[in-house]
A and B are shown apart, each in its own frame.
Chain A
């Protein structure tokens, strides 16, 4: 059992700082010859019948979850159905229009002007104007909201947000940012009606393809198609969301045909096999959807010593970890969190060398190191990863004791508190956001607590650099520096296996979001 999210802050909100570029790939397109067999069937595409109600099982964020997009407790499976952002990430990672149709910076990128879509109305019939957009950003920045995105948007000067007319929004920045709109693609940035802070958590009034019918925290809720949606009426008539805490219970619900889609349930190999065996269920694989990481807390012994960090990176064999932990559903990462298909990707790897690792440890006075490695049932893949890693570093004389922490307080009590633990991110951030978020000394998501002036200087330089080739060089230098010095262990990028009913067509998953508009049931 377990896996009720909570403990005040929901870790899930920290993970999806961007949408993945991956789409449902139908048949299992395994990257590196999986011997255990692949998932031969996936989500179907093709004609969907008009209407129908889709049933989605989701893990509750917390028994105090809300529909306020800016909140750390947001029930975000609903968000994409109910709301729109000003801009969102397109399929190939670029920023594309949503409620804003055009945007441009001033000369020094300290002020951005957004042109807003006209004729859009909220579910309550109120027209969408620039006042709503301005209110949304101020709401995120409001300390009372305690939004996780507030830190990211702290470069925004709330006083300088202006609305010259109903369909123009001007946002002033404290410091220049050449790619500021990418920061607004985060799902915390969904647009809510002006002045709705107090009620939005329950009402869920947005401009999205579905309107809220009912909502109970950590329980059932329902949305119905919004016929007036500016993008056109969605295929489905409605969606029922059921909050089911236990992973196993969610799988059982799918197998018993009580639900159609398991949202936010990356299946491990075992679960995937079980779902696959179901008569009416299938598994869809999204490649490289997840960055599997083991953050070494650089502020805690023994990882304060860079030689120990390097030793850990040399000690394990990423290929064997990928094989054991994920049955080769993934791509070896060599401790670089940037996915290989990123345009700025640096093909740089330090090959595994346990003897050198041992030597480094000796130099650091940490021979025969014994350490706790924390894991949790938060995701079914965590413990296999921990076990595979433990087995692999043993070659370098490192002994890891696995500690299984309760999943619900894992991200409040273990993550960023213990020297070594298992964690994950979804892929799909732009490289700038990714590197700044992971390694910027000011970032609250810097999970290795790495405060390195060289790194900060590199990141600052790249933002100022306008020459594309030089940018690329800087980004690649930064990646190499990360691989050599940071505290982040990245064994591999994992595929995400999602369980869904064979009745579901046009399933497209984008980080935390679905393509709610087109998903449907088999005709």
Chain B
């Protein structure tokens, strides 16, 4: 169909409505959007290389040449923070996608099949959730080493069960509805029922989960880097930057504050976006609690 159908237009109208639903939602999307733009444009915007040392200018306070000052190795903090956004967004996106895909798939299947599969899955979910997050994470990272893919694996292991639980609960509300029954009565396969009938109707829950988990993933990944399990130097990872510069917070606050501000604005943005999505999609955002 060449032209946008009435429903299509309305859908886009609804999306626009969601984005601009309230002032705080707007702020949220603007923050996330700004992070995206800054990350994409980092090579253009950054005045210096994020990793080249400058022995002549260590721990230099913000100046016209270095707006956010320099760190111990004379690297430009602003450039590092800008490039750090690329890492933060990429890692977060990858890890969140892993979490959401696994969690949604498992949650949907558990809700659809019920029975022993559901029981087993939910017990495993409980068991994973019962181990403190950091401990579970440390174990995975220590078992598998570090790196982007391990990070994805680790974060997925830790967060996918919680998503599975939320998605399962949402799917359980949808599956008894008549249109799903109609599909089953037609003899549709499980995959078709879930992808055509169930998933589009829990998409709101999944979306809100995505935004919310993304905000936690940002924090988690930065915590991992902070603990030395995440990115390796000279990577301009924010958590790593905080870890590197934390010691001189009192004498050179700029070096830590820049990544902290970047981190906090991204998380705040994601949180506000999640709030806004939840509000305009009518999803109870906290249904999953925290894990």
Contact = CB atoms under 8 A, between A and B. Distances in A.
Interface of A: 1-2, 35-36, 247-248, 251, 255, 268-271, 273-274, 276-277, 320, 323-325, 327, 375-377, 380, 383-384, 386-388, 390-391, 401-404, 406-407
Nearest to A1: B227
B73 A271 contact: no
B233 A270 contact: no
A274 B146 CA distance: 31
B131 interface: no
B251 A273 contact: yes
Contacts of B245: 270
B58 A2 contact: no
Nearest to B229: A406
A277 B73 contact: no
Contact of B55 (A247, A271, A274, A327): A327
Given A36-B58, A384-B72, A270 B232 contact: no
Contact of A324 (B74, B228, B232): B74
B56 interface: yes
B55 A324 contact: yes
Nearest to A327: B58
A327 B59 CA distance: 10
B234 interface: yes
Interface string B101-130: 000000000000000000000000000000
Nearest to A319: B55
B233 A274 contact: no
Given A247-B247, A325-B73, 7 more contacts: A36-B59, A269-B58, A270-B72, A270-B244, A270-B251, A387-B51, A406-B229
Contacts of B74: 324
B252 interface: yes
Interface in B156-204: none
Contacts of A248: 246-247
Contacts of B37: none
Contacts of B142: 406
Contacts, number: 86
Contacts of B54: 324
B24 interface: no
B61 to A, nearest CB: 12
Given A1-B227, A36-B58, A324-B55, A375 B73 contact: no
B244 A323 contact: no
Contacts of B229: 406
16 contacts: A1-B227, A255-B250, A270-B244, A270-B247, A270-B252, A273-B248, A273-B252, A320-B55, A327-B55, A383-B233, A386-B233, A387-B53, A388-B53, A388-B73, A390-B234, A391-B52
Contact of A274 (B56, B73, B248): B248
Contact of B53 (A274, A375, A391): A391
Nearest to A268: B72
Given A268-B72, A269-B72, A324 B53 contact: yes
Contacts of A2: 227-228
Contacts of A327: 55, 58
A376 B234 CA distance: 12
A122 to B, nearest CB: 42
B59 A269 contact: yes
Given A380-B247, A387-B53, A270 B234 contact: no
A489 B245 CA distance: 27
Considering residues A270, A273, A325, A402, which has the most beta carbons from chain B within 10 angstroms of its beta carbon?
A270
A380 B244 CA distance: 9
A247 B244 CA distance: 12
Contacts of A402: 232-234
Contacts of A391: 51-53
A276 B73 CA distance: 19
B69 to A, nearest CB: 12
A258 B98 CA distance: 46
Contacts of A324: 53-55, 58, 73-74
Contact of A375 (B52, B233, B251): B233
